[in-house]
Amino acid sequence: MSQTAVIEDITDAQFVENVLMSETPVLVEIWAEWCPPCRQLAPILEKIAAERAGTLRVVKLNQDENPATSADYRVMAVPTMLLFRGGRPVLQMVGARPKSHLDREIDKALA
């Protein structure tokens, strides 16, 4: 019985409360509707969210609809994943990648 985690869509206005003030580490995917690698990454992030429910939150932020956060963190390409712990970015990854690679990078950043 795996716990199902929902990947929440957030906005610039919700970023501080949902990411920076989170007690739990948060993986933020900055994505766009028109981005094929973003669609490729979606099922991988759903698996990570489900497997790590309770220890890691996964949220998505649409760059086209929420440009402020992207500008604040100098996001130049989508998909970009930012991992936050204690309100601070501890990892930035650009581009789609295999789940094993994402898991390894997340584990290393949170160790």
Question: Catalytic residue numbers?
Answer: 35, 38
Contact 7, 45 (CB under 8 A): yes
Residue 95's contacts (CB-CB under 8 Å, 6 or more residues apart) are: 37, 77, 79
Order of all β-strands in the sheet with 88-94: 8-10, 57-62, 26-31, 80-85, 88-94
Distance CA 42, CA 109 (A): 21
Say how many C-beta atoms besides its own lie within 10 A of residue 7's C-beta: 17
